[in-house]
Structure 1
Amino acid sequence: MNNLTNYHSHCLYCDGVAPAEDFVKEAIAMGFSSYGISSHAPIPFESCWNMKQEKLTDYIVEINSLKEKYKNDIELYIGLEIDYLDKTYNPASSIFQTTPLDYRIGSVHFLKIGDEQFIDIDTSPEQFKITVETIFNGDIIKLVRHYFDTMVQMIETGGFDFIGHADKISMNALSYRQGITSEKWYNELIQDYFHFIAEKGCMVEINTKAWKKKRLFFPNRQHFSLLRKFNIPVVVNADTHHPSRINDGRIDALHALLSEGFTHVRQLVKGEWKDVIISI
């Protein structure tokens, strides 16, 4: 068993740039022990990166076919990255709990404003700035708190195997106000947030997608010590949209975890989440 795994991966069913099989072939070529496809789940309004509802059955059929085709080469799993929108549409919703999946990722990309409006906060820095200025009247702290309040609601609701990019808001927040993640109020908020995650017994993803370009992990590297302090189990994922990037940032993330006293990461082994020793 090795630490070459990735369970956060997007193919042509959502905003990935290649067919699912291309990711599987690359994982096999690189010696991965297991791999998961986790397209963005459908949502009840138009989005340029979520899977269309009518494609969900085709997705299940295709990934299951790949699991059979490559069963002697790799442990392949099927998942979905499911948006928490509100209490009526989230990873715990019956539509996703009855979908035959090996795992579910719980993530927040949209914030609910009022009764019906949803705004995308995982967007370009330019659009994010417009959102802060026009919808939150320039109050970046209010937006960040709304994001973490929504994450807490998702965690309370449940229905997922692990939390996807647990502080993804930090990337655009830092672009809006340099040093914001080191401010006292933010550190207090993050402390309470991860303490709550630990109380709920959740697994957190170390998301390496932005490491190569921005030197950012999600959660932020400075908060790995909190994950260790609260004994929160972690799984390392690349959140990849291109086959060539399925292993981006993994070694750096594992070294960082080791430096904070982690000895194990979570991996799927014969369909079950297991603690596997970090060996690099």
Structure 2
Amino acid sequence: MKFDLHTHHERCGHALGTIRDYIEAGISSGLSVIGISDHSPYFASDADHEQPGIAMAKSEFARYVEEVLKLKQEYAGKIDVLLGCESDFFPEHADVYRSVYEQYPFDYLIGSVHLSGGVSIFNRKRWDGLTDRQQIEQKEIYYDLIAQSARSGMFQILGHIDAMRGFYPAFSDIPTNAVDKTLQIIAEQDVAIEINTSGKTKDCGGWYPIDAVLERANHYGVRVTFGSDAHKPERVGDDWELVSRRLKEIGFKEWVYFKQKQRQIVPL
């Protein structure tokens, strides 16, 4: 049974195609389940559309939900369309985001850290001139935010938990036990992590997270799910079979998706 819980569309300002395009791509690629999970608006901003090239406007959010629910009904029997959202996580604004999400019937929410220490995790220059100690500090700040997102109770899934390596592959080699500590917290909170295949589109190549992190996740009993993080329809379900095979090699027996925030177990 194939599923993909992480897809975007044109509302976020940096993806191509409509929601319908992604659903049709899911059907073409043999998915039984597709989750629509576009980027959350900046709910804590005074502006309606903070950073248009990154996320949708606040005024679009209800329309986004309405469209997904309408398409869920239209495609019933052909593919199971799930209502999701990839949410930024800002600890200082968590209650604002939580109050918005509680108004809608989400099947799941993906919590993703995109800003760490006030700087985008994808900023190529954020590592320039840092000492070894400062690099460790930056990695630990990032994983502390991920740990806080796991503890927040807001999310069923945590997104791309080593995406900071996207444009800085050496990130994986920065020595700290923060990754293990965070994986233990994720396991304790019973939140899933995604294997996100969009890493292949960045300088680092491969998937998020790397195999070494997945091996540790399996050791601690962290549950896993799949997301292509597709920003164009042709990437829906990308590398699903390869990920499934690799997870089995690592030792995982199952992966999960979420419907009405209830975990659905799929054997590998």
Report the TM-score, using the length of structure 1 for normalisation.
Answer: 0.85
CA–CA separation in structure 1 for the residues paired with 2:260 and 2:121: 36
SS of residue matched to 2:21:
helix
Change (3 A) 1:267 1:154: closer
Partner of 1:97: 102
**Cα distance 1:89–1:199, how it changes in 2: closer, same or farther (>3 A)?**
closer
Instruction: Identify the match of residue 194 of structure 2 among 205, 209, 218.
Output: 205
Aligned to 1:49: 54
Where does residue 76 of structure 1 map in the other structure? 81
Bigger mean CA deviation after superposition, 101-110 or 217-226: 217-226
Identity %: 24
Larger displacement relative to structure 2 (17-26 or 103-112): 103-112
| Cα displacement string for residues 5-58 of structure 1 (whole angstroms, at most 9, x for unaligned residues) | 111000011132100000001111222110011010011342221111010111
CA displacement 1:94-117 (0-9 Å, x = unmatched):
1122223211111100124xxxxx
Specify every segment of 5 or more residues in structure 1 that has no aligned partner in the other structure, as ranges: 113-117
Match of residue 109 from structure 1: 114
Residues 110 and 157, structure 2, Cα contact 8 Å, conserved in 1: yes
- Would you say the 8 A contact 2:105–2:260 is kept in 1? no
Cα displacement (A) at 1:91: 8.5
Q: Which residue of 2 aligns with 1:164?
A: 159
1:82-134, CA deviations, whole angstroms, 9 ceiling, x for partnerless residues? Answer: 1111232368621122223211111100124xxxxx322234x2xxx2x3348
Q: Hey, what does 2:121 align to over in structure 1?
A: 121
| Distance change in 2, residues 1:219/1:148 (3 Å) | same
Task: Measure the CA separation in 2 of the matches of 1:269 and 1:157.
Answer: 20
Instruction: Output the CA distance in 1 between the equivalents of 2:182 and 2:144.
Output: 9
- Which residue among 64, 67, 74 is the counterpart of 2:69? 64
User: What RMSD in Å do the two structures reach over aligned CA positions?
Assistant: 2.2
Aligned residues: 259
Is 1:181–2:172 an aligned residue pair? Answer: yes
Q: For 2:220 and 2:74, locate their aligned partners in 1 and report how far apart those are by CA, in whole Å.
A: 40
| Contact 1:91–1:104 under 8 Å retained in 2 | no
Q: Which SS does the other structure have where 1:204 is aligned?
A: strand
- Cα deviation, residue 211, structure 1: 3.0
CA contact (8 A) 2:257 2:265 kept: yes
Native 8 Å contact 2:187 2:222 kept in 1:
yes
What secondary structure sits across from 1:93 in the alignment? helix
Q: Quick check: 1:194 aligned with 2:187?
A: no
- 5+ unaligned residues in a row in structure 2: which ranges? none
Give 1:269 shift: 6.2
Q: Name the CA distance, whole Å, in 2 between partners of 1:137 and 1:91.
A: 36
Quick check: 2:6–2:37 contact (8 Å CA) kept in 1? yes
Which of 229, 233, 247 matches 1:243?
233
Contact 1:10 1:39 (8 Å CA) reproduced: yes
Per the alignment, residue 115 of structure 1 pairs with: none
The structural deviation recorded for 1:161 is 0.9
Partner of 1:87, secondary structure, is helix
CA 1:12–1:120 in 2, change beyond 3 Å: closer, same or farther? Answer: same
Query: Which residue pairs with 2:249 in the alignment?
Result: 259
Question: For the Cα contact (< 8 Å) 1:83–1:90, is it kept in 2?
Answer: no
Q: What residue number does 1:7 align with?
A: 5
Matches of 2:230 and 2:31 in 1, distance apart? 15
How far off is 1:146 after superposition?
Answer: 1.3
**Cα distance in 1 for residues equivalent to 2:66 and 2:8:** 16
> How far apart are residue 201 of structure 1 and its match?
1.5
Instruction: Identify the residue that residue 222 of structure 2 maps to in structure 1.
Output: 232
